[in-house]
Amino acid sequence: MSLAIDVLLVVQSTIVFFLAGYEYLTLMHFPALRESATHPSNRSLVSIILPVRDQAKTVGECVASLVGLDYPEKEIIVVDGNSTDGTLDILRSFDGKINLVEEEPLPQGWVGKNWACHMGYQQAKGDLLLFTDGDSIHAHDSLAKTVNYLEVTKADLVTLAPAAILRSFWEKLLQPPIFWLIMMFVGGKWVNDDSKPRWALGNGQYMLFRREAYDEVGGHNAVRDRISEDYSLGRLIKAHGLKLRMVTASDSLGVRMYSSFPEIWRGWRKNFYSVSGNHPLFRAAYRLVLLFIFLVLPFVVLGYGIYLAPKAPLNIYLLTGGFMAFFLWLGLIILDRSIRVSPFYALLLPFAILVYIGIGIDSTVRGALGLGFSWKGRVYGRRHYHPLSCCFVAVASAVSNHYVRGLDLHALAVVV
């Protein structure tokens, strides 16, 4: 038995080592948006399409940054999804500078954001289409640089990885590991390799399309029911043999995705559902098991090795656990430093992954039971039940939402 455990630990350590090598190949030296870019000689009209819904906290700063872009050949189309929190009042203060469109009733089978983007596209006149989010902040020269990059590279879609605006404890703890996992999942900088069609990603916070490419893949209409529509659009671009380019742009674009623990939980819960293929149970469970084995268990092994160290200083648990923890910590520390987050948060990686596993379990259970995923006043993925089962579904949904709200307060108290 002891020999079998030793063999398994060596195998696990070897896989983590190769995972670190894969991480180096795909994430290190990621291409960046060029800082000193000349303006393109033939400027195309850019239609900036901004879908918003109940974003009064962020939309003013976002729209102001879009209005202030030093690219004159632009139109700004803001599609409001029946906001109730004062968003419309803020948007009306930009009268004459934006084209404000009120969203029509959401058709069956459409995700709200995708419908808003489609409505904006129908109003757009530009040869280039920029889709962005209401929590983004754009540097004044960002559009000129991105258009120039698209023209120079002859890309059909340029998508930016922005500077992450992380302010709270939970954002700094949970967001970097999730970004790290996503980029490894999609192949990192291999998304820019035209010979690797399976590696693809779009970032819905900033996607600049050539209109003809957007039309060719079917636009948001082709991904109308996808929660992670940006990921799906990126895959469609490469599937059609078109050119996708993803670059970092920390000086050109900033985004604060979520500002609290409940927002992080609900936001990534719906995304986990989507990237698991709208929830085949085996695929979701398989990913959660892998997360535990390779991103949590190494630290458990290390802890046990430290426990045994007084009697056996060079025990197999200490050696293999330390080896694996070193490579896992190193990758996240490098990422945290690049986005100006203290390395202290990287040391809490196993705790962050356990939280994400909890999000994945919640997502999987809700998907399997058809409870749906609430987001900005809408519910996606809900199945219709016989009246006798509705009571159970309602109770399960209420318990899940109460748990998320309560966990934020109690866990924070423990940390403090």
Per residue in 339-361, pLDDT (tens digit) is: 889 999 999 999 999 999 999 99
> Would the pLDDT of 136 be above 50?
yes
Strands 46-52 and 371-375: unpaired
For 44, which DSSP code? P
> Would the pLDDT of 258 be above 50?
yes
DSSP assignment of 64-87 equals HHHHT-S-SSEEEEEEE----SSH
Average pLDDT of the residues in 219-237: 94
Determine the pLDDT at residue 383: 62
Average pLDDT of the residues in 230-252: 95
Determine the pLDDT at residue 322: 96
Average pLDDT of the residues in 220-238: 94
> Would the pLDDT of 223 be above 60?
yes
Number of helices (H), then strands (E), in the chain: 15, 10
Check whether residue 221 and residue 120 sit in a common domain: yes
> Would the pLDDT of 113 be above 60?
yes
Determine the pLDDT at residue 39: 56
**21 Cβ contact list (under 8 Å, min separation 6):** none
Determine the pLDDT at residue 408: 42
Average pLDDT of the residues in 261-269: 91
Q: Percentages helix, strand, coil for the chain, rounded to the nearest 5?
A: 55, 15, 30
Task: Answer with the one of 200, 230, 259 that is the final residue of a domain.
Answer: 259
Average pLDDT of the residues in 263-273: 87
> Would the pLDDT of 378 be above 90?
no
Task: Answer with the one of 330, 351, 368 that is the final residue of a domain.
Answer: 368
Which secondary structure element, helix H or strand E, spans residue 328, and what is its range? helix 316-338
Report the mean per-residue pLDDT for the chain. 87
Determine the pLDDT at residue 180: 93
Check whether residue 255 and residue 276 sit in a common domain: no
Average pLDDT of the residues in 58-81: 95
Check whether residue 231 and residue 310 sit in a common domain: no
Average pLDDT of the residues in 257-286: 80
Contact present, 238 and 376 (Cβ < 8 Å): no
> Is 34 part of a structural domain of the chain?
no
CA atoms within 13 A on the CB side of 228: 22
Residue 253: helix, strand or coil by DSSP?
strand
Determine the pLDDT at residue 272: 82
**Listed range (14-23, 30-39, 94-103, 255-264) with the worst mean pLDDT:** 30-39
**390 Cβ contact list (under 8 Å, min separation 6):** none
pTM score of the predicted model = 0.85
Outline where 129-254 has alpha helix (H): 142-153, 169-185, 211-217, 229-239
Check whether residue 291 and residue 338 sit in a common domain: yes
Is residue 92 very low, low, confident or very high in pLDDT (cuts 50, 70, 90)? very high
> Is 410 part of a structural domain of the chain?
no
Residue scoring higher pLDDT (85 or 383): 85
For residues 111 and 380, what is the distance between their CA atoms, to the nearest angstrom? 7
Check whether residue 175 and residue 54 sit in a common domain: yes
Percent pLDDT > 70 in the chain is: 88
Which tokens belong to 310?
């007084």
For 102, which DSSP code? E
Check whether residue 276 and residue 196 sit in a common domain: no
The maximal CA–CA distance of the chain, rounded, in angstroms, is 76
- The boundaries of the domain holding residue 131 are 46-259
> Is 152 part of a structural domain of the chain?
yes
Which secondary structure element, helix H or strand E, spans residue 206, and what is its range? strand 206-210
Check whether residue 215 and residue 309 sit in a common domain: no
Sheet holding 206-210, edge to edge: 99-102, 74-80, 46-52, 128-132, 206-210, 157-164, 244-255, 136-138
For 113, which DSSP code? H
Is residue 148 very low, low, confident or very high in pLDDT (cuts 50, 70, 90)? very high
> Would the pLDDT of 62 be above 80?
yes
Check whether residue 161 and residue 276 sit in a common domain: no
> Would the pLDDT of 122 be above 60?
yes
- Cα torsion angle, 371, 374, 377, 379, sign: negative
For residues 361 and 356, what is the distance between their CA atoms, to the nearest angstrom? 9
Average pLDDT of the residues in 116-131: 97
Is residue 7 very low, low, confident or very high in pLDDT (cuts 50, 70, 90)? very high
> Would the pLDDT of 317 be above 50?
yes
Average pLDDT of the residues in 246-250: 94
Strands 206-210 and 46-52: unpaired
Average pLDDT of the residues in 194-219: 95
Check whether residue 250 and residue 339 sit in a common domain: no
> Would the pLDDT of 288 be above 80?
yes
Contact present, 139 and 206 (Cβ < 8 Å): no
| CA distances (Å), origin 164, targets 4, 14, 246, 378 | 44, 32, 16, 26
> Is 37 part of a structural domain of the chain?
no
Check whether residue 277 and residue 317 sit in a common domain: yes
Average pLDDT of the residues in 222-249: 94
Check whether residue 79 and residue 137 sit in a common domain: yes
Into how many domains does the chain fold?
2
For residues 27 and 188, what is the distance between their CA atoms, to the nearest angstrom? 5
pLDDT tens digits, one per residue of 18-52: 999 999 999 988 999 987 555 555 679 999 999 99
Entry field: residues in the chain: 416
Could you identify the residue written with the tokens 């989507």?
274
Check whether residue 124 and residue 249 sit in a common domain: yes
Is residue 396 very low, low, confident or very high in pLDDT (cuts 50, 70, 90)? very low
End-to-end CA distance of the chain, in Å? Answer: 42
